[in-house]
Amino acid sequence: MNTPKIFESEYRFCLILWETEPVSSRELVKLAGERLGWKSSTAYTVIKRLSERGVLKNENSVVTSLVSKEEAQASEIDEMMDKTFGGSLPAFIAAFTKRRGVTDRELEEVQSMIEAYRKEHRNE
C-alpha cells in the first residue's frame, strides 16, 4: 500500500490525532486551535482533505487514523532517501554523520540494530 502524502502542517495536525484518537471532530478541532493556533474552519478543511486522501476517517463525527505515525514517518524517510541520496543508505549515513556527528552511545545503539537485523534476516 502506498502511504498518502502528508504535508508538514497536516503532519502536526496528525500528531494531535495520533495522540488522542479516537477523538470527536469537535475535540480535534478545539485541540488544533489550542496547539496550532488554527481557526476551526481550517481544521475542518484539513480533516476533509486528509479524509479524501485516505489518511484518516471521520465517521459519525469520530476521527480515527488510517495511516499510523510510523507509516507516515517511513514514507517521508523513503521519499527523502530517494530524492536526496538516490536511495543509498551509506550516502545518507555519511552525510548525516559528517554534519552532526555521532556519540559513542548512538554508535552502540546502531550497532545493536544492525546485529538484530542480521540475526533476523540470516536465514533468508
98 pLDDT higher than 90: no
Tell me how many degrees the CA angle 31-40-19 measures, rounded to the nearest 5.
25
124 pLDDT higher than 70: no
Which residue, 90, 88, 83, is CA-closest to 110? 90
pTM of the model as a whole: 0.79
Number of C-beta neighbours around residue 68 at 10 A:
12
Write the pLDDT tens digit of every residue in 19-57: 999 999 999 999 999 999 999 999 999 999 999 999 999
Alpha-carbon gap, residue 42 to 64, rounded angstroms: 18
CA atoms within 13 A on the CB side of 6: 28
Number of H helices, E strands in the chain: 6, 3
Enumerate the β-bridge partners of residue 57: 64
Enter the CATH code of domain 8-69: 1.10.10.10
Alpha-carbon gap, residue 92 to 20, rounded angstroms: 33
